Structure 1
Amino acid sequence: MQLETERLLIREVKAQDFEAIHAYASDPNVVRYMIWGPNSEQDTQDHIQRCLNMQLQIPRAGYEWAVVLKQTGRLIGGCGLHVEQPLQAELGYCFHADYWGQGYAFEAATALLKFGFGELGLHRMYATCRPANIGSEKVMQKAGMKYEGHLREHMWHKGQWHDSYLYSILKHEFKGMTG
């Protein structure tokens, strides 16, 4: 299973992707706003195994994909979609720092929205980010997601409580269904 955009190939994770995934997943700067990482080699191996296991689910509830530049074949990040019932899903993305600010996260997020609303028939999709993660917040806004609220100290990770901003979009609000 794979998705394709103008510049990206969004495909299933493979065991051979370890080096490229570990390059961004172990970078403290990349994961500073994530609820995981920085990854040890074992953490990255475990993540890849979870991705491979997801691919075997029937019905499938989780999708974790590698994001690859079509022009070069280089793996530059990952994105995911986790389906909940009824007809809702959470989406997320993480990219190597060398590829920040170039529109790749927006392109991947839009592809996930098209897939979720189109192929999966979802009604609502949502995403969260830490309040200081301005880049991620801008991706959600540009994708047409609406701010729903500020979740205050709702998550304990890395030895402290964290806040999140919650954004969502409903199928009838998503402009990408016609384009």
Structure 2
Amino acid sequence: MQLEFESERLCFRPLRADDIDLEIALWTDFEVARYITGKVSTVEEVRGLMPLVTQRAGRGCIGIWCLTDKSTQEKIGHASLLPMPVEAEDTEFELLDSEDWPDRNIEIGFVLRPVFWGVGYATEACTRLLEFAFSETMLNAVFATTDDENHASQNVLTKSGMRAVGPVRAFAGEYPGYKVMREDWVSEKGLNSPKV
């Protein structure tokens, strides 16, 4: 299975410890964090989380990918397939310390540096990661949630092929939920069976 892949403008590769520069740029920026955590993190907090956020599960298919611009190799953000917490307030990264698949619904996510907002990178990243999920893994559904006010991300999810399903219980609260089923994705996109 190939965990490094591309889209039209982006390269995807598993997040590594040396991507600390990207993660600091993301999580110390309030514009990035406001709809996700509601507050910025310190550099020390980001450094402390790197061993957790670089873990992977499900034979490497569940985790975070660093996104780079193909033409410049600049790091623009990250995209993820992660276990969606229900009663926990944050991602349960301890579930990634295994080759097994986490016993949770799998949520897609994307976080970009603000300078790269508004040019379609988020939709491109989300669509390509959904393609990976349904062509390279045995996932039957992918889920997503957003903050109530995060209309830009809601629009990205819809444009990427996900459907609004109303409020869902996640992150110890109720949030707008999105979902796409394998059969719907395959019928619309014409993908082959998974290669796993």
- Give the secondary-structure state (helix, strand or coil) at the position aligned to 1:147: strand
| CA distance in 1 between partners of 2:103 and 2:23 (Å) | 31
Residue from 32, 47, 50 that aligns with 1:48: 50
Report matched runs for 1:89-168 at 5 Å: 89-151=106-168, 155=171, 163-168=174-179
Q: Does the C-alpha gap of structure 1 residues 58 and 101 become closer, same or farther in structure 2, counting only changes over 3 Å?
A: closer
How far residue 37 of structure 1 moved from its aligned partner, in angstroms, is 4.6
- The one-letter code of the counterpart of 1:24 is L
Deviations 1:96-155 (A, max 9, x none): 011111111111111111111111121110100011101100001101111111248x65
| CA distance in 2 between partners of 1:20 and 1:155 (Å) | 24
How far residue 53 of structure 1 moved from its aligned partner, in angstroms, is 2.9
Q: Does the C-alpha gap of structure 1 residues 104 and 47 become closer, same or farther in structure 2, counting only changes over 3 Å?
A: farther
- Tell which deviates more after alignment, 110-119 or 13-22: 13-22
Aligned equivalent of 1:20: 22
TM value normalised by structure 2: 0.77
Residue from 183, 189, 196 that aligns with 1:176: 189
Aligned equivalent of 1:159: none
| CA distance in 2 between partners of 1:89 and 1:177 (Å) | 22
Indicate if the aligned counterparts of 1:79 and 1:94 stay in contact, CA closer than 8 A. Answer: yes
| CA distance in 2 between partners of 1:45 and 1:91 (Å) | 23
| CA distance in 2 between partners of 1:49 and 1:42 (Å) | 13
Report matched runs for 1:75-90 at 5 Å: 75-82=75-82, 88-90=105-107
Indicate if the aligned counterparts of 1:87 and 1:124 stay in contact, CA closer than 8 A. Answer: no
Indicate if the aligned counterparts of 1:51 and 1:64 stay in contact, CA closer than 8 A. Answer: yes
| CA distance in 2 between partners of 1:61 and 1:73 (Å) | 23
How far residue 12 of structure 1 moved from its aligned partner, in angstroms, is 1.4
| CA distance in 2 between partners of 1:129 and 1:143 (Å) | 14
Q: Which runs of 5+ in 1 are unaligned?
A: 157-161
Higher strand share: 1
TM value normalised by structure 1: 0.84
Cα RMSD (Å): 2.5
- Give the secondary-structure state (helix, strand or coil) at the position aligned to 1:132: coil
User: In percent, how many aligned pairs have the same letter?
Assistant: 26
